[in-house]
Amino acid sequence: MITEFLIKVKTYFAKTVKKKRQRRTEYCVLVDSSNDTLIYAGTFPSIIVLLSEITMDSVYAVEMSSPDIPMILQGAPRTYPEWSCDRKKKIFFRTNPSIITEDMRDRAELVTKKGIAFYRAIYLTNRLREKLYNGLRYQETIYAAKQRQAQMLVDSHFDPKYEQRAPFVVQYADVSGMTVKDAAEDILLHAQLFNEHLEKTERFRLSLFRMIKSAKTPLEVDRIMENPFGDTLV
C-alpha cells in the first residue's frame, strides 16, 4: 500500500513538472497607438502599466505568448520598431521600413531603459522593506488592530473598562509579563518605528520613480541608477 501511494505521489509531481515545462512565457508589450509598432516588451504587467502612463501615443497588451517575442528581444531595443503587433491576434509582423524613424528607435531605447530602471527600483524598494515583513499571513492586520487598541487605551487614560475591547493588547501584556499600560506603550513605539521606516522607503520610491519618469535620455537613466539612493534615506 505504501509503495502504491509513493507511485501516485511520484506520478502527480511528474505531471506537474511537465505542465510547468510546457507553459509558455507570457509577455506584455507596449506599442505605438497609431501604427502598432513595438516600443517595449517584458514579462511584468506592473512595469508595462508604468511605462504606458509616461509614454505618449502608446497602448499596451498583456498575456502575449507569441514565439516571435524572444527572438525580437535578442535584438537591441532600437530594432523593436522594425516589428509591429496585431494585439487582437497576438501576432507580430515586419514593419514597413518606410515608416520607421530615428525618433521611433530613440523612444524604444529610452522606454526600455526606463523599464529596466523601474524593475530595479521596485526590487530595491522591496529589499528595503524586507525587515518589515516576517512571513506570517495576516500579521499586518493584527499589527494594525494592536495599534488601534493600544491607542484607544492611551486615549482612555487606561480606564480598566476599556481593556475588554483591547484583547490583542491584553494578550501581549500577559505573554510578555508586562502591565497593560506598558504593553500598550510598547506596541505604539514599535508601530511608530514601523511607520517611520515605511515612510523612508516610500520617499525613496517616489523620488526614484519621479527621476526615472522625467529622464529624457538613456544616459540620464543610467546616471540615475548609478546612485539610486541619493540622500532620500538620510
Statement to judge: residues 118 and 137 lie in one domain: no
Is 33 inside a domain boundary?
A: yes
Is 5 inside a domain boundary?
A: no
b/e per residue 86-103 (b: at least 16 CB within 10 A): eeeebebeebeeeeeeee
Is 201 inside a domain boundary?
A: yes
Statement to judge: residues 41 and 90 lie in one domain: yes
Q: What is the pLDDT of residue 234?
A: 47
Q: What is the pLDDT of residue 62?
A: 93
Statement to judge: residues 116 and 141 lie in one domain: no
- Considering 123, 150, 173, which residue would you say is the last residue of a domain? 123
Is 202 inside a domain boundary?
A: yes
Is 92 inside a domain boundary?
A: yes
Statement to judge: residues 105 and 151 lie in one domain: no
- Considering 62, 95, 123, which residue would you say is the last residue of a domain? 123
> Which pTM does this prediction carry?
0.80
Statement to judge: residues 112 and 139 lie in one domain: no
Listing DSSP states for the chain in one string gives: -HHHHHHHHHHHHHHHHHHHHHPPPPEEEEEETTT-BEEEEES-HHHHHHHHHHSTTEEEEEEE--THHHHHHTS-GGGGGGEEEETTTTEEEEPPGGG--HHHHHHHHHHHHHHHHHHHHHHHHHHHHGGG--S-TTHHHHHHHHHHHHHHHHHTTS-GGGGGG-HHHHHHHHHHT--HHHHHHHHHHHHHHHHHHHHHHHHHHHHHHHHHHH--SHHHHHHHHHSSSTTTT-
Is 21 inside a domain boundary?
A: no
Statement to judge: residues 141 and 201 lie in one domain: yes
Statement to judge: residues 108 and 46 lie in one domain: yes
Statement to judge: residues 142 and 185 lie in one domain: yes
Statement to judge: residues 155 and 204 lie in one domain: yes
Statement to judge: residues 153 and 79 lie in one domain: no
Cα separation, 40 vs 109, whole angstroms:
8
Q: What is the pLDDT of residue 11?
A: 59
Cα separation, 112 vs 93, whole angstroms:
20
**How many domains does the structure of the chain reveal?**
2
Grid cell 502599466 in the structure block, residue: 49
Domain membership of residue 145 as a residue range: 133-226
Statement to judge: residues 106 and 65 lie in one domain: yes
Per-residue pLDDT of the chain (234 residues; tens, 9 = 90+): 555 544 555 555 555 545 554 567 899 999 999 999 999 999 999 999 999 999 999 999 999 988 899 999 999 999 999 999 999 999 999 999 999 999 999 999 999 999 999 999 999 999 999 888 878 899 989 999 999 999 999 999 999 999 999 999 999 999 999 999 999 999 999 999 999 999 999 999 999 999 999 999 999 999 999 999 876 654
Q: What is the pLDDT of residue 131?
A: 81
- Considering 68, 91, 123, which residue would you say is the last residue of a domain? 123
Is 109 inside a domain boundary?
A: yes
Is 213 inside a domain boundary?
A: yes
Statement to judge: residues 116 and 137 lie in one domain: no
Cα separation, 190 vs 169, whole angstroms:
13
